[in-house]
Amino acid sequence: MNGLIKITPVTIKYSKVLMLVLVGCILAIFMVWERSRMVTLCRDISQQEEELAVLRTMNVELETQIAGLASRGRIEGLAKEFRNMEFTSPENLIIVKILSYDKGKTCNYAGLGKLLKFLNGNSLPKDDNNVNINGEELFGNI
């Protein structure tokens, strides 16, 4: 035989069983590794979901705080308290109409000087120079 293993039907049967056991062990190790990995990933997912719930709660709290800070009453109170601001009465309002400019027509800016003088405290007399090129009043009832 010269040191060679004699192959018999029994040897073939044992080698097939040995191969099946080896393949089974490899599959079992793979399944245990996969299960371990899945448990780790599930734990990570649950931690992320908990963190997401906390962040959503914080987001709602911040949005509520923003709504409170941006409320008209609060801003009015701060303006009155720190900047001594008050609402303008209707008799102190000046309504300025914006002139439309059409190409090819000249625009009269003579009334602008009168408005600036008025804003500096001078009176603005009502005359024909308070109208634009279309005959509309420049400054309304001032």
pLDDT at site 113? 62
Enter the DSSP assignment of 134.
Answer: T
Half-sphere exposure of 4 (CA within 13 A, CB side): 5
Would you say residue 109 has pLDDT above 50? yes
CA gap 130, 31 in Å, rounded: 92
Structure confidence at residue 120 as a pLDDT band (50, 70, 90) = low
Would you say residue 93 has pLDDT above 90? no
As a whole number, the mean pLDDT across the chain is: 76
Q: Where are the domains of the chain?
A: 9-72, 88-142
Which whole number is the average pLDDT over 21-44?
Answer: 96
Structure confidence at residue 55 as a pLDDT band (50, 70, 90) = very high
pTM of the predicted model as reported, rounded to 2 decimal places? 0.41
pLDDT at site 87? 76
Would you say residue 128 has pLDDT above 90? no
Q: What percent of the chain has pLDDT over 90?
A: 33
Nearest to 123 by CA among 114, 132, 136: 114
